[in-house]
Structure 1
Amino acid sequence: MKPQGPVGLRRDAEKVAGALPPLLAEAEVLAATVAMGVHGRRRAGHGENFWQYRQAVPGDARSMVDWRRSGRSDQQFIREMEWEAAQTVSFWVDDALSMDYRGSDDALARSKAERGRLLALALSVLLISGGERVALMGTAAQQPRGGRTQLNKMALALAGAEREDRPDYGAPPPDRLPRGGRAIFFSDFLGDLDAYLPALGHAADQGVRGCFVQVLDETEETFPFDGRVVFESMGGETEFETQRARALREAYVRRLAEQRARIDDLARGLGWRVLRHLTSQPPRTALLWLYMAVGERI
Structure 2
Amino acid sequence: MARVRVLPEAARSPGRQATESALDLAQRMPRLVLEARRVAANLSHGIHGRRRAGIGETFWQFRPFVTGEAAQRIDWRRSGRDDRLYVREREWEAAQNIWFWIDRSASMAYVSDLAQAPKVERAIVLGLALADAFVEGGERVGMLGLMAPRATTRIAETMAETMVADRFSLDDDLPPQAPIPTMDEAILIGDFLSPPSEIAVAVEAISSRGSRGHLVLIADPVEETFPFAGQAVLHDLEDGISLRIGDAVSWGSAYRERMALHRASLEDLARRRGWTLTIHRTDRPASEAALRLITLVAASRGVSGARR
What TM-score do the two structures reach when normalised by structure 1? 0.72
> Which letter maps to 1:180?
M
Q: Tell me how far 1:178 sits from its aligned partner.
A: 2.6
For residue 101 of structure 2, the aligned residue among 86, 89, 92 is: 92
Conserved in 2, the CA contact under 8 Å of 1:232 and 1:238? yes
> What is the number of equivalent residue pairs in this alignment?
240
Q: Tell me how far 1:236 sits from its aligned partner.
A: 6.4
Pick the structure with more strand per residue. 2
Which residue is equivalent to 1:288? Answer: 291
> Which letter maps to 1:30?
V
Q: Tell me how far 1:155 sits from its aligned partner.
A: 1.4
> Which letter maps to 1:122?
A
The reply to whether residue 146 of structure 1 matches residue 151 of structure 2 is yes
Conserved in 1, the CA contact under 8 Å of 2:48 and 2:138? no
Which residue is equivalent to 2:270? Answer: 267
Q: Distance in 2 between matches of 1:109 and 1:285?
A: 13
What is the Cα-based RMSD across aligned positions, in Å?
2.8
Which residue is equivalent to 2:259? Answer: 256
Alignment of 1:1-298 (within 5 A): 21-34=30-43, 36-37=44-45, 39-44=46-51, 84-104=93-113, 109-139=116-146, 141=147, 143-158=148-163, 160=164, 163=167, 166-167=170-171, 170-235=173-238, 237-297=240-300
> Which letter maps to 2:41?
A
C-alpha spacing 1:44/1:208, structure 2 compared with 1 (3 Å): closer
> Which letter maps to 2:141?
V
CA-to-aligned-CA distance 1:121-147 (integer Å, 9 cap, x gap) = 1000000011101111132x2x11111
> Which letter maps to 1:123?
L
C-alpha spacing 1:253/1:272, structure 2 compared with 1 (3 Å): same
C-alpha spacing 1:101/1:289, structure 2 compared with 1 (3 Å): same
C-alpha spacing 1:18/1:91, structure 2 compared with 1 (3 Å): closer
Q: Tell me how far 1:157 sits from its aligned partner.
A: 2.6
C-alpha spacing 1:162/1:145, structure 2 compared with 1 (3 Å): closer
CA-to-aligned-CA distance 1:221-259 (integer Å, 9 cap, x gap) = 011011121111224621111221111011001100110
C-alpha spacing 1:257/1:190, structure 2 compared with 1 (3 Å): same
C-alpha spacing 1:157/1:43, structure 2 compared with 1 (3 Å): closer
**Percent of paired sites with the same residue:** 33
Q: Distance in 2 between matches of 1:215 and 1:164?
A: 22
Pick the structure with more helix per residue. 1
Q: Tell me how far 1:286 sits from its aligned partner.
A: 0.7
Conserved in 1, the CA contact under 8 Å of 2:105 and 2:169? no
> Which letter maps to 1:112?
K
SS, match of residue 268 in structure 1: helix
Q: Distance in 2 between matches of 1:22 and 1:188?
A: 22
C-alpha spacing 1:44/1:257, structure 2 compared with 1 (3 Å): closer
Q: Tell me how far 1:149 sits from its aligned partner.
A: 4.8
Conserved in 2, the CA contact under 8 Å of 1:41 and 1:295? no
Q: Tell me how far 1:165 sits from its aligned partner.
A: 7.8
> Which letter maps to 2:112?
G
Q: Distance in 2 between matches of 1:180 and 1:291?
A: 17
Q: Distance in 2 between matches of 1:127 and 1:44?
A: 14
Q: Distance in 2 between matches of 1:179 and 1:45?
A: 12
The 10-residue stretch of structure 1 (181-190 or 217-226) with the greater mean CA deviation from structure 2: 181-190
SS, match of residue 274 in structure 1: strand
Q: Distance in 1 between matches of 2:169 and 2:298?
A: 36
Q: Tell me how far 1:198 sits from its aligned partner.
A: 3.6
Q: Distance in 2 between matches of 1:238 and 1:24?
A: 34
> Which letter maps to 1:276?
I
SS, match of residue 189 in structure 1: coil
